Amino acid sequence: MKISIIGGAGYIGLITGLGLAQLGHKVTNIDIAEEKIKTLLNGKSPIYEEHIESVLENCLSSGNINFTTDPSDSISDSDIIIIAVGTPSNKGGDIDLTQIKSAIEQIKSNFKTYKVVVMKSTVPLDAVELMRQEFSKQHQEGKDFDIVSNPEFLREGKAVFDFFNPERIVIGTNSEKAFKLIEEMYRDLIDRKKGLDEISQENKKIPVLKTSLASAQMIKYGSNAFLATRISFINELAELCEYVGADINEVSKGMGLDSRIGESYLQPGPGFGGPCLEKDLNALNALAKNRGLFLKIFKEVLERNNVQIDEIIRKIKKSVSINESLITIWGLSFKAGTDDIRNSSSVRLIENLSTLNAKIKVFDPVATFNSPISKDLEIFEDPYLSVEDSDILVIMTEWPDFLEYDYSRIFQSMRGKNIVDARNILNSSFIKALGFSYSGIGVI
Ligand code: UGA
């Protein structure tokens, strides 16, 4: 099949395009970001992501993928157009549709044969309605075009794995013809006939769910909001655990063994970050508000997440006086496995500590700031140099690398012997035995 992806150098567009090209389709990834397109044509990925370089190499050498800034030829030739542009939040929490509108314009100006237009970007139904109205000015739905919502559930850092191992494929549309075409697009993935050699695949077929457009979008919003709710829930329970002498790691394990609850997204930490969970909760709040509804849970989940940074600061203050201290922070990205620092709890912490006049040293194995955010901040490429003379070490991202380091050496070079482990990744007994004062989340 011939497929065009608008927003093809962005996170979702790129992974989706490469995944579909690996399945054997002829894919053109279109993007206005010229530099990224050049980088991709040179066989390099503009994002840090496991497996991406090898799938890029496969697809460029098979000739199944092309990258371009020019939408015209590929859109008019394609059967399927996937919209994967960014959907940032406005101040009020609702979604800024600027990039979606530009994608609609690009499709309108290159509309020839029947097309299925697939919305991958996470947007409320209003955006789909807008698209329908715009296309319907010159074309007939069902005859010239159909619209599908096919949400993605890719996690940054595991996105290539997730593309080839989806737990479900949701196809939301009111057109049987469009449903069949999109199901066909995924056929070899659904039947596990094709994948990526280096990623092991389970044998069981992938469930395909046919829904209405509105339900497909709510499945996406609901999933992210539910994951965020679990994280806020466990962080709240962790706070209480500290006051009753319980250990949240044991509590979370014990709860997760109940199959009705399950183990995932019960890891306490510095609060959820990244470009998705908070944005989607804000979008649900904005949707409710615009419809005159007074919903409560989404707001509380966000509120709990906002105070989680105060919890970390409280722990730091228990050990040192912030404005007189040298504080080392390990981890900048919003989670391990990615260089993405958007909406990262670590960045939030750094901003807060900077306003409290702390001197800060930062180390992350992969991520960095594009531009310096404070004169009192130093970035290190060596973990050991980053802790020299520090009063306290705060671990904000769960990089496995942090488990490999020599903590006796770290103990020797630090001035204060304090560790706040905001991810509960270290072996606390071992760290305490070295002489550190250790503080995790929800543990005593
Ligand atoms: C999330 C969803 O997990 C994906 O399914 C979805 O496709 C994606 O948003 C999206 O909408 O595009 P992602 O933003 O990559 O994926 O991040 P997650 O892996 O879900 O983690 C989000 C945050 O929660 C991170 O800061 C992570 O450290 C934190 N987290 C996660 C916890 O604090 N505890 C947990 O137990 C799990």
pLDDT digits 0-9 by tens, 286-345: 999 999 999 999 999 999 999 999 999 999 999 999 999 999 999 999 999 999 999 999
Q: What span, in angstroms and rounded, lies between the C-alpha atoms of 18 and 35?
A: 18
What six digits make up the tokens of 66?
């092309």
Residue 233, ligand 1, Cβ within 6 A: no
Pocket test for ligand 1, best of 122, 156, 301 (most atoms within 8 A of CB): 156
Chain centre to alpha carbon of residue 118: 20
The answer to whether the beta carbons of residues 235 and 268 sit under 8 Å apart is yes
User: What number does the ligand 1 atom closest to the CA of 159 have?
Assistant: 15
For ligand 1, whether the C-beta of 341 sits within 6 Å is no
For 148-163, the pLDDT digits (tens) are: 999 999 999 999 999 9
Centroid of ligand 1 to alpha carbon of 145 (angstroms): 34
For 215, list phi and psi in degrees, rounded to 5: -65, -40
Quick one: pLDDT at residue 124?
Answer: 85
pLDDT for 89 equals: 86
Which of 22, 20, 144 is closest to 82 using CA atoms? Answer: 20
CA of 273 to the centre of ligand 1 (A): 7
Atom of ligand 1 nearest to the CA of 334: 26
pLDDT tens-digit series, residues 103-150: 999 999 998 889 999 999 998 888 999 999 999 999 999 999 999 999
What is the separation of C-alpha 146 from the centre of its chain, rounded to a whole number of angstroms? Answer: 29
CA pair distance 118, 13, nearest whole angstrom? 12
Side-chain-side CA neighbours of residue 443 (13 Å): 21
CA 440 to chain CA centroid, Å, is 24
Q: How far is the CA of 221 from the centre of ligand 1 (A)?
A: 13
Pocket residue to mutate for ligand 1, from 50, 277, 423, most atoms within 8 A of Cβ: 277
- Which pLDDT band holds residue 198 (cuts at 50, 70, 90)? confident
392: left (phi > 0), else alpha (psi -120 to 50), else beta?
beta
CA-proximal residue: ligand 1, atom 17 (nearest): 155
Token pair for residue 81? 């157009």
Residues annotated catalytic, as ranges: 276
What's residue 160's pLDDT?
Answer: 96
- pLDDT at residue number 296: 95
Two tokens at 362?
């930062």
In ligand 1, the atom with minimum distance to the C-alpha of 274 is: 14
d(CA 7, CA 374): 32
Q: Is the CB of 387 inside a 6 Å radius of any atom of ligand 1?
A: no
Nearest protein CA to atom 6 of ligand 1, as residue: 153
Q: Is pLDDT at 409 greater than 80 in this prediction?
A: yes
Tell whether pTM > 0.85: yes
- pLDDT bin (cut points 50, 70, 90) of residue 196 is confident
422 in contact with ligand 1, CB cutoff 6 A: no
Residue 171, ligand 1, Cβ within 6 A: no
Position 57 pLDDT exceeds 90: yes
Long-range pairs of 379-386 with CB within 8 A, sequence gap ≥ 24 = 383/330, 383/410, 384/409, 384/410, 384/413, 386/328, 386/330, 386/361, 386/362
* For residues 279-285, average pLDDT: 94
Q: Does residue 187 have its Cβ closer than 6 Å to ligand 1?
A: no
Burial bucket for residue 29 (CB in 10 Å: 0-12, 13-18, 19+): buried
pLDDT score for 112:
85
Six token digits for residue 59: 């697809």
In the prediction, which pLDDT does 376 show?
Answer: 82
Give the torsion through C-alpha atoms of 105, 286, 280, 45, to 10 deg: 30
Q: Match 């007074």 to its residue by tokens.
A: 294
- Which of 42-56, 191-205, 218-232, 241-255 is the least confident region? 191-205
Structure tokens at 418: 């304090």
- CB of 154 closer than 6 angstroms to any ligand 1 atom: yes
Report, as an integer, the average pLDDT of 86-97.
Answer: 86
Distance between CA 266 and CA 255 in Å, rounded? 9
Q: Which residue's CA lies nearest to atom 29 of ligand 1?
A: 272
| Predicted pLDDT at 370 | 80
CB 199 within 8 A of CB 164: yes
- 47, 264, 272, 398: residue to mutate for ligand 1 pocket, most atoms within 8 A of CB: 272
